[in-house]
Amino acid sequence: MAVNYSELRTRLKIEIKRPEQSELAYLTHFLQTIDNGSKDHYRQEARQYVQGICDKDVRIDELWYQPYLPIKWDVPFPPPIKHRFKFIDLFAGIGGFRLAFQNLGGKCVFTSEWNHYAQKTYEANFGEVPFGDITKISEQDIPDHDVLIAGFPCQPFSIAGVSKKNALGRKHGFLDETQGTLFFDVARILKKKRPPAFLLENVKNLISHDKGNTFKVISGTLKKLGYNIHYRILDGKYYVPQHRERIVIVGFDTQVFGGKEDFSFPRMPENPPMVVEDILEPEVLEKYTLTDKLWSYLQTYALKHKAKGNGFGFGLVDFDGVARTLSARYYKDGSEILIPQEGKNPRRLTPRECARLQGYPGDFKIPVSDTQAYKQFGNSVVVPLMQEVGKQLVHALEQKN
């Protein structure tokens, strides 16, 4: 008889209360990979955790051995029963990339995300607790995989003058230029695990940052690691009603593909399929309407900057158009995307509307406060856009195989 994950969640005390709960990451990763070789990376620590919480009501043999205890994953987005490829999800946020690549038949075998509020949302939807700070995780402890995915943050760095060494205390030759940045962690994992392909995503300005030196180091590092790269700035407005430009970098191992992979970025639809009105809820609580004080402040602020010739100010949406870019600061005042209301002040988007604006399905759970939800969706990827890029990447993988 199968047991629901929700029951296991209670019996095994899977509840995220603080950052860096690696014991829960080991346990849930083990449960999710128990049907393939990746489980060996998590078995020992997961078993230690179970032994540590066992009491008279919990039999370790029942909890431990999968043939005796098949799991029914009663979460919105369970792991696939059969998979086409394996991937890892770095800087995972709330799982936008995971959702996209699971939809393509991928099996996630490792996840990392340092923010424990984002971990809560991730676990609620996928039944897995991400590992924490990637800088503290050895590349040797990550399972083999076919695709590395990372929406990595990019702290400023330049080619010259970077002397800070990684906490691991090892030199990596040309990788020294990226030490002190989180891209270094992507590079060291690529160097050790050598997945056939990767997908990286970042802000549009990555290309122009530091007069192009930042992207020069990143692209040069990837090429020296032996990957042929493709990159393009893509706009999410062709899949959701939001103008959201991001750079996407896709790479393929030249030792596997010889630089001749069958990959191209998807062609964008000629006309955006959705408008803002399509993602709005029919009824919204009054708390999302701006107070008189805040609305007055935003109008005064906008007029002041307009007089100076600046473009700063609030953004009232066109119901038949697309919204500005949703940012992680949306929780502060909602100024970049405001919804007009007849006879009253405009309002913010609700968290559910933000989820729709990023392409998340209706059954995606939002178990955190509004403030945290705004931050999470503001930092997310546009799910259907990344799924279309992923479709092309997976096609290239399978053409080679």
Task: Give the pLDDT confidence of 350-391 residue by residue, as tens digits.
Answer: 999 999 999 999 999 999 999 999 999 999 999 999 999 999
What percent of the chain clears pLDDT 90, i.e. is strictly above it?
69
Whether 231 and 260 map to the same domain: the answer is: yes
Pair 302, 353 in one domain: yes
Domain assignment of residue 33, yes or no: no
Assign 310 to helix, strand or coil.
coil
Phi, psi angle pair for 112, to nearest 5°: -135, 135
The pLDDT value given to residue 154: 63
For residue 125, being part of any structural domain is answered with: yes
Does 175 reside within a domain? yes
Does residue 351 belong to any structural domain of this protein? yes
pLDDT reported for residue 262: 95
Same domain, residue pair 253 and 239: yes
Which residue in 119, 179, 107, 112 sits closest to 144, CA to CA?
107
Residues 136 and 235 in one domain: yes
Q: 275 in a domain, yes or no?
A: no
What are the tens digits of pLDDT across the range 238-268?
Answer: 999 999 999 999 999 999 999 999 999 999 9
- CATH number, domain of 372, equals 3.90.120.10
- pLDDT grade, residue 172 (50/70/90)? very low
Same domain as 297, residue 265: no
Quickly state the pLDDT bin for 275 (edges 50, 70, 90). very high
Its domain, for residue 265, covers: 82-270+382-400
Q: Whole-model pTM?
A: 0.90
Q: Within this chain, do residues 233 and 345 fall inside the same structural domain, yes or no? A: no
Whether residue 266 is found in the same domain as residue 396: yes
The residue behind tokens 């949406």 is: 317
**Domain contains 28:** no
CATH code where residue 202 lies: 3.40.50.150
pLDDT digits (tens, 9 = 90+) for 51-93: 887 654 555 455 554 444 678 999 999 999 899 999 999 999 9
Structure tokens at 198: 């990767």
Residue 92 lies in a domain: yes
Same domain? For 199 and 342 the reply is: no
- Based on the domain organization, do 387 and 367 belong to the same domain? no
User: Are 223 and 361 contained in the same domain?
Assistant: no
Poorest-pLDDT segment among 247-251, 309-313, 341-345: 309-313
CB contact at 8 A, 100 and 390: yes
Domain match, 91 and 215 both: yes
Same domain, 185 and 244: yes
Q: Are 193 and 234 in contact (CB under 8 A)?
A: no
Kind plus residue range of the DSSP H or E element containing 398: helix 383-400
Per-residue pLDDT averaged across 150-176, rounded?
49
Residue 365 lies in a domain: yes
Domain count for the chain, please give it. 2
- Which amino acids are annotated catalytic? 154
